[in-house]
Amino acid sequence: MAKPQLLDLFHTLSPPAPGTLRGEYAGIDYFGRTEDTIEAALTRLRSGDTFWLGKAFPGVEGDGASGDNRIHNPDGTVSRRDRYGIHRGTSPLDGNPTILLKYSDFDNAAGGIGFLDEVRQVNERLFVCTGTPEEGKGDTGSFFMSGPPAPFVGPDDPTSELLS
């Protein structure tokens, strides 16, 4: 599926019901379907550097609720970091209800560029998501989350990445 068709699908989907996102979901990058984007992804995976495994959710949203990203490290360990606030709100992409994952709620690299993810549900195990810098005003990328989720663990350091 090409990027425009994937975004068209995203616009037709609804956000998950409150409490649905609970646990650690597998993340699947959408590499685009062009030779260049697939080669870039393969180069990143072959490099042995860190790579993204997925996202984690505590099962609540709003009122300070936060999730984290699971990152595979070169030494084989998994870090839980790059936190985001979890909010129900209106999508800056299409004006529809959505789940917003707001990195600027925390002090991390993604928050520094105003990165904003959105989550919409396909079925009980599949979610189509977008990621956009500048609080939803930049160039939009896409990714997927898949379950069933593993139990929620939480960030490695719950006091990390807090804004001053």
The CATH number of whichever domain residue 129 belongs to comes to 2.40.128.580
Mean pLDDT of 134-139: 90
Q: What is the pLDDT of residue 40?
A: 66
In a domain, 72, yes or no: yes
What amino acid is encoded at 91 in this protein?
S
SS3 content of the chain, % helix, strand, coil (to 5): 20, 40, 40
Cα 69 to Cα 63: distance, rounded to the nearest angstrom: 20
Task: Flag whether 24 is in a domain.
Answer: yes
Give 43 or 66, the one with higher predicted confidence: 66
Instruction: Please tell me the predicted confidence (pLDDT) of residue 84.
Output: 97
Q: Is residue 112 part of a domain?
A: yes
Q: How many domains does the chain have?
A: 1
In a domain, 164, yes or no: no
pLDDT of residue 137: 92
Dump pLDDT digits (tens) for 146-155.
Answer: 999 999 999 9
Q: What is the model's pLDDT at position 119? A: 98
Predicted confidence at residue 164, as pLDDT, reads 79
Per-residue pLDDT tens for 37-52? 667 667 767 777 788 8
For residue range 90-108, list pLDDT tens digits in order. 999 999 999 999 999 999 9
* Better pLDDT: 33 or 150: 150
Within a domain: 154: no
Look up the domain containing 34 and give its range.
3-147
Q: What is the pLDDT of residue 46?
A: 75
Task: Quote the CA–CA distance of 71 and 79 in Å, as a whole number.
Answer: 5
Q: What is the mean pLDDT of the chain?
A: 91
Question: Does some domain include residue 99?
Answer: yes
Residue 87 within a domain: yes
Per DSSP (E only), the strands in 40-77 are 51-58, 66-72
Q: Are 144 and 31 in contact (CB under 8 A)?
A: no
In a domain, 110, yes or no: yes
